[in-house]
Amino acid sequence: MRSYLPQGPLPAFYHYSPGVPAVVGVRLEQKVNFCPAVWNTGLSADPPLFGVSISPKRFTHGLLLKARRFSASFHPHAQGALIHWLGSRSGREVDKGQTPHFLGHFGVPILEGAYAAYELELVEVRPFGDHDLFVGRVVAVWEEEGLLDEKGRPLPGLSLLYYGKGLYGRPAEEAFTP
């Protein structure tokens, strides 16, 4: 195994991949935008908190700061091309609000086709390196029951996985307990 001491950004930073992208949806006045965020995580069960990391360079970043409400939706691998398109175009240049979506209980846009989605109220924003962590309190949960097991987990092989550098896939085998 080789080693090196990084002198700046790592040349490849995908050792923790794959990850399940959360598609962040935000609406400010009549502007709707969607942005996949692979750096996402649950932070607390009580209160229910969920976080997404977004670069200040992203159009979504400024919208989130102003709107203070957003969604995070999780999609099946069959929507991989759409999720890639959303992540490879800026809302500054294209109208992502034309993508099929609905408005949740609190007016946040949720991308159609998700197996689960959260509506979130922004609690805190903290900078971490070249990204900011947006922490939201979950105020509503949406689930597509036919795509989830009895415990609310996505059915085996359903989830979209992101491996980095535009490479997507899906889980190849069912979960197991060693």
Pull the structure tokens for residue 59.
Answer: 């159009």
C-alpha span between 9 and 101 (Å, rounded): 36
pLDDT at 74: 98
Is 97 a member of any domain? yes
Per-residue pLDDT of the chain (178 residues; tens, 9 = 90+): 867 677 777 766 677 789 999 999 999 999 999 999 999 999 999 999 999 999 999 999 999 999 999 999 999 999 999 999 999 999 999 999 999 999 999 999 999 999 999 999 999 999 999 999 999 999 999 999 899 999 999 998 899 999 988 899 988 766 677 8
Q: Which two tokens stand for residue 82?
A: 């759409």
**E strands, the chain, where?**
22-28, 31-37, 40-45, 48-54, 69-74, 101-103, 109-111, 116-128, 131-143, 161-164, 167-169
Examine residue 17 and state whether it is found in any structural domain, yes or no. no
| DSSP state, residue 29 | T
Asked if 77 and 159 touch (Cβ cutoff 8 Å), the reply is yes
Containing structural domain, residue 77: 22-169
CA dihedral for 54, 58, 63, 65, sign (positive or negative): positive
In a domain, 10, yes or no: no
Q: Is 46 helix (H, G, I), strand (E, B) or coil?
A: coil
Inside any domain, residue 51: yes
Q: Write the CA distances from 23 to 10, 50, 124, 165, integer angstroms.
A: 25, 13, 19, 17
Question: Beta strand pairing status for 69-74 and 22-28?
Answer: antiparallel
At residue 171, the pLDDT reads 86
**Do the domain assignments include residue 13?**
no
pLDDT given for residue 175 in this prediction: 65
Please, which residues have CB within 8 angstroms of residue 118's CB and are 6 or more apart in sequence? 50, 71, 72, 73, 136, 138, 140, 141, 142
Q: Work out how many domains the chain is built from and give that number.
A: 1
Establish if 44 belongs to a structural domain.
yes
Task: Tell whether 175 is covered by a domain.
Answer: no
Collapsing DSSP states into helix, strand and coil, what is residue 174?
A: coil
pTM score: 0.93
Q: Is residue 59 part of a domain?
A: yes
Which candidate, 88, 138, 147, places its Cα nearest to that of 114?
A: 147
Q: What CATH number does residue 58 fall under?
A: 2.30.110.10
